[in-house]
Amino acid sequence: MTTHFTAALWAEALKFRRSRVPWVTAALLALTPVLGGLYMLAARNPQTSQTLGVTDDWAGYFSLLTQNDAVTGYLAFGILTGWVFGREFSDRMLVDLLALPTPRSAIVTAKFLVIMTWSALATLLVPVVALAVGGALGLPGWSTWLLLTTLRQLAILSGLNMVLVTPFALAASIGRGYLPAVGLVVVIIALAQAMAAVGAGAWFPWSVPALASGMAGEASRTLPLASYLLVSLTALAGAILTMTWWRSADQR
């Protein structure tokens, strides 16, 4: 099984490396601190600063960063997942993965592992680019504690966003392509916003990362344990159903 899994992981990593999607997702994530930097430039004007509700210092910049990352991280990881699973259908290669000594479960697990690994690595770009942008802008109010707090926030956010991608893998598999998964990503963004707006965000898994980032204000940052439990259950259900689909579904 270990040999089969190693083979599947090698195969998935190769397909991933040879595609454009790592660069697209990395660019999307790197854009977050760059856009944040533009906000900071605008916030130098006191009137604009008041309108945007951000201060033009490291605290303001990091706060903006975590809020934006809640959305861009979700988008990047969702698209990435849809592509990794959906490409087998668009390249018409799925059938070549189904009757092999390497079990389908090893292939699905390898896909998830590649997605998680790249998502984690690409997320590292966010603080790195942010430090470069903030440094270049000469933002005031630097503190190491602030940086560590932000890094912890980003880690939690990315972790939540990363595990919540499993239903997109299922959508790509059932929908036989990446477009259904991307469609679901968009629909869920709208739903997450609506749920957060009516105050039910804590009970909608995909609203949890944004709320945890403080997007809806500091008050909503502290979520009940049940919210995190809901996120875990959604992730688990997505992974199990995707695995079941690959193992049992008729491939027509």
Partner 1 sequence: MTVAAIETRDLTKRYGSTVAVDGLTIRVAPGEIYGFLGLNGAGKSTTIRMLLGMSRPSQGAVFLFGGRVSGRGAGPWGRVGYIVDAAHAYPGLTVWENLELARRLQGVSDSGAVDRALEFLGLTPYRDRRAGVLSQGNTQRLGLARALLHRPELLILDEPINGLDPAGIVEVRELIRHLAREDGVTVLVSSHILAEIARLATRIAIIDHGRLLAELDADELERRSHARLLIGARDRDAARAVLRTHGFHVSDDGDGELVLEDVRALEHPEHIASLLVAASAPPTSLRISQEDLEAFFLRLVSEHQGAAA
Binding site for partner 1 (CB under 8 A): 3-4, 7-8, 10-11, 14-15, 18-19, 91-93, 95-103, 247-248, 250-252
Q: Distance between CA 179 and CA 94 in Å, rounded?
A: 16
Task: Report the nearest approach of partner 1 to the CB of residue 166 (Å).
Answer: 21
Nearest Cα to Cα of residue 112 among 124, 120, 101: 120
Query: How big is the CA angle at 25 (ends 209 and 110), to the nearest 5 degrees?
Result: 85
Q: Distance between CA 109 and CA 115 in Å, rounded?
A: 10
Report the residue number, 96 or 174, with the smaller CB distance to partner 1: 96
| The one-letter amino acid at 137 | L
Report the residue number, 18 or 136, with the smaller CB distance to partner 1: 18
Task: Report the nearest approach of partner 1 to the CB of residue 113 (Å).
Answer: 16
Query: Cα-flanking dihedrals φ and ψ of residue 91, to 5°?
Result: -85, 0
Q: Distance between CA 174 and CA 242 in Å, rounded?
A: 9
Task: Report the nearest approach of partner 1 to the CB of residue 162 (Å).
Answer: 24
Task: Report the nearest approach of partner 1 to the CB of residue 17 (Å).
Answer: 9
Report the residue number, 100 or 120, with the smaller CB distance to partner 1: 100
Report the residue number, 62 or 178, with the smaller CB distance to partner 1: 178
Longest Cα–Cα distance in the chain: 65
